[in-house]
Amino acid sequence: MWQLLRRGPANGLVVSLKRGANATPITNLLQARGINARIEYADAVDEACTSRNVCDSPRRGGVGITMPTGSACSVGWIVTRNGARGAVTAGHCAWDRKSGSVNSGAFYGSINSINALSAGTHADMRFIDIPGGAQPWLYQHSTTKARTVTGSSLGAVGATACLFGRNSEFPRCGTISSTNASHFSNTCSCAVYG
Q: What is the pLDDT of residue 99?
A: 93
Alpha-carbon span 133 to 149, nearest angstrom: 15
Q: What is the pLDDT of residue 3?
A: 41
Alpha-carbon span 87 to 85, nearest angstrom: 7
* 159 Cβ neighbours under 8 A, 6+ residues apart: 175, 176
Q: Higher confidence at residue 29 or residue 13?
A: 29
Q: Could you give the 3-state DSSP secondary structure of residue 110? A: strand
Domain boundaries, the chain: 2-42, 49-153
Q: Exposed/middle/buried for 68, CB within 10 Å: 0-12, 13-18, 19+?
A: middle
CB of 185 closer than 8 Å to CB of 192: yes
When the pLDDT of each residue in the chain is averaged and rounded to a whole number, the result is 79
Length of the chain: 194
pLDDT at 148 over 50: yes
Q: What is the pLDDT of residue 4?
A: 42
Q: Could you give the 3-state DSSP secondary structure of residue 50? A: coil
CB of 165 closer than 8 Å to CB of 124: no
Q: What is the pLDDT of residue 101?
A: 94
Q: What is the pLDDT of residue 10?
A: 46
* 77 Cβ neighbours under 8 A, 6+ residues apart: 61, 87, 88, 138, 149
Task: Indicate the CATH number of 49-153 among 2.60.40.10, 2.40.10.10, 3.40.50.10090, 3.90.1720.10.
Answer: 2.40.10.10
**pLDDT-above-70 percentage for the chain:** 82
* Mean pLDDT confidence for 17-46: 78
Alpha-carbon span 122 to 109, nearest angstrom: 24
For the entire predicted model, the pTM comes to: 0.66
Q: What is the pLDDT of residue 156?
A: 87
Strand 37-42 vs strand 13-18: parallel, antiparallel, or unpaired? parallel
Strand partners, 182: 193
Q: What is the pLDDT of residue 6?
A: 42
pLDDT at 66 over 90: yes
Alpha-carbon span 106 to 57, nearest angstrom: 9
Alpha-carbon span 69 to 80, nearest angstrom: 25
Q: How confident is the model at residue 142 (pLDDT cuts 50, 70, 90)?
A: low
Q: What is the pLDDT of residue 41?
A: 76
pLDDT at 102 over 90: yes
Q: What is the pLDDT of residue 48?
A: 59
Q: What is the pLDDT of residue 7?
A: 43
Q: Name the helix (H) or strand (E) containing 73.
A: strand 72-74
Alpha-carbon span 183 to 5, nearest angstrom: 42
Name, of 69-73, 118-122, 138-142, the range with top average pLDDT: 69-73
Q: Could you give the 3-state DSSP secondary structure of residue 26? A: helix
pLDDT at 9 over 60: no
* Mean pLDDT confidence for 134-150: 72
